[in-house]
Structure 1
Amino acid sequence: MIKELSFLEKVNQYPKTTYIYHTKIEERLAMHSHNKHQLTYVEGGVAYLKTNDNSYFLPARHYVWIPAGMEHFIELKTPISIIRNIYIPTHILNSNEFYSKMGIYPASNLIMEMILFTENWSENIFKKEKSKYQYIKTLGTIIAEISKNPLPVVLPTTTNERLSPILKHIHLHLDQPLLLKEVAQLFGFSSRSLSRLFRDTLDISFLQYVKLTRIIRSMEKLLQTEMSISEIAYVSGYNSPATFSNTFYNLVKLRPVDFRKINREISE
């Protein structure tokens, strides 16, 4: 009896092929890596890219580039329409520094059309399939040329036993005031020791972590609900819609209303 290969075994089976995989079924993978670069676009739903150190929000109309060898997994927070994956062998791309760094980038119309064009291609693309092989090389070249500004919202993660319950508390109470002194007291820390724990473990401050978590929560609401900007501001922990809008702009370089409009318009 021939053993059926697992999904990851299929990706790595032929080191010199591009592996194409468009699916409506979520592959529930643990933390893993593979010997090919990964280009992934998630249609519909809310997704996160998890690495050993960080959690990256993957909003609508954005794709993620994962360099070969990087440990990761994609966590889906809501039902999705389809996941589009292209696994590209490292040797067919040039030495552009872009390929060695993980990043989440806006998907232009050109990139979206090029990804969609591969929808009916099945699994491995060998070099002898000259037109398809060249197409993938061209896709990789174009992505490196036009993808200049990765999404800057990155949330550090940790398995630190002292800090993990505090991070969970923050996520569960974003719509409430989250003050360093009060959270520290709740978990038996001084303000100074908790502040140091955040710095030493996550390399950001308590306030920065709360701000990033609130912005990511607001991005989810902007893309997944019909709530008004004011309502989203309040459930994300902001007392003022103007403060929320300014904070969002400083991080994302778009106003919340524009972020919602752009992502929804292009995704429809």
Structure 2
Amino acid sequence: MRNVHATRADALPGAIVATANEYPVHHRVARHRHRRSQLLYAATGIMIVGTEAGRWIVPPERAVWVPAGMDHEVKSLVHVSTRSLYVDPAVDPALPVDCRVIAISPLMRELLLETADLPLPYARGSRADSIFSLLVHEIVRAPVLPLDIPMPADARIAARCRAYLRRPSPHETIDDWCRDLDLSRRTFTRRFRAETGLSFAGWCRQAAIFAALPRLAAGAAITPLAFDLGYDSASAFTTMFKRVVGVPPSRYLAQSPPSA
């Protein structure tokens, strides 16, 4: 099923359905929800998925899992080619119940690219049924990637987080935030970790990744980007990026567009 609007996916028949869509640069899919869980895969391009709980960045060859019933919106930062898999949660109780970005193995990639032309509805025991069943198994075992930026429930801390996301800087300290929010360091640290699941330093590193990836996708050079984000050198930024993502920024978005 190609070029099916996200809000129409719920009308498609079956416990598992798949769609393929192309989104132009800066396209926005307004906030919506699905009765099935959604695996949204970026075959090419880069997207940001937003929910009340936080934001997830989806670079090429990665996918975001959005549980059934969760309100979310999608924005493409460059032209994006997607595959979506919609899965009834009853299909497998081991499926994730939280939003997450996952790594896509070579096997998953080929299976997801194949789904766009599978018939709907499909017969039990058919080739389509086997492909979808194998994909469910692969989703359950897929590694989770640190590409989310959780937002705290506390309104004042969340506002401070949003301001930081607009212009992240490694030179801001936890004491700066505590002073701005009129909170003791102990209270702030306890509340921040409880509401985001991350330390303050870990959250700030994630924020820098969020600021950097769209610009890297647009072709920004690493050295001026590092300085603009407040790093003293390109090597310092590269070290931070590799610590969080696992590869240096020069390699991270060097993906060849797959043929579909």
Same fold (TM over 0.5): yes
3-state SS of the aligned residue for 2:230?
A: coil
Alignment partner, residue 47 of structure 2 = 47
Alignment partner, residue 17 of structure 2 = 19
1:60 aligns with 2:56: no
1:248 aligns with 2:241: yes
Q: Describe the shift of the 1:136–1:193 C-alpha distance in structure 2 as closer, same or farther (beyond 3 A).
A: closer
Residue by residue over 1:185-212, the C-alpha shift from the partner in whole angstroms, topping out at 9 and shown as x without a partner, is 4455555554454234334333332222
1:168 aligns with 2:162: yes
Deviates more, 1:162-171 or 1:235-244: 235-244
- Alpha-carbon distance, 1:62 to partner: 0.6
Larger Rg: 1
For structure 1, which runs of at least 5 residues remain unmatched after alignment?
Answer: 1-5
Tell me the amino acid that sits aligned with residue 47 of structure 1.
M
Alignment partner, residue 122 of structure 2 = 126
3-state SS of the aligned residue for 2:159?
A: helix
List aligned pairs for 1:22-101, cutoff 5 A: 22-24=20-22, 28-30=29-31, 32-34=33-35, 36-67=36-67, 69=68, 71-90=70-89, 93=91, 97-98=94-95
Do 1:163 and 1:197's aligned partners in 2 also have CA atoms closer than 8 Å? no
Q: Describe the shift of the 1:28–1:162 C-alpha distance in structure 2 as closer, same or farther (beyond 3 A).
A: same
1:112 aligns with 2:109: yes
Moved over 6 A (4+): none
Q: Describe the shift of the 1:105–1:266 C-alpha distance in structure 2 as closer, same or farther (beyond 3 A).
A: farther
Tell me the amino acid that sits aligned with residue 53 of structure 1.
A
Q: Describe the shift of the 1:126–1:99 C-alpha distance in structure 2 as closer, same or farther (beyond 3 A).
A: farther
TM-score by length of 2: 0.77
Q: Describe the shift of the 1:205–1:81 C-alpha distance in structure 2 as closer, same or farther (beyond 3 A).
A: closer
* Distance of 2:213 and 2:49 partners within structure 1: 15
Tell me the amino acid that sits aligned with residue 147 of structure 2.
V
Q: How many residues align?
A: 252
TM-score by length of 1: 0.75
Alignment partner, residue 3 of structure 1 = none
* Distance of 2:81 and 2:258 partners within structure 1: 13
Which residue of 212, 215, 232 maps to 1:239? 232
Q: Describe the shift of the 1:21–1:173 C-alpha distance in structure 2 as closer, same or farther (beyond 3 A).
A: same
- Alpha-carbon distance, 1:94 to partner: 5.2
Alignment partner, residue 139 of structure 1 = 135
For structure 2, which runs of at least 5 residues remain unmatched after alignment?
Answer: none
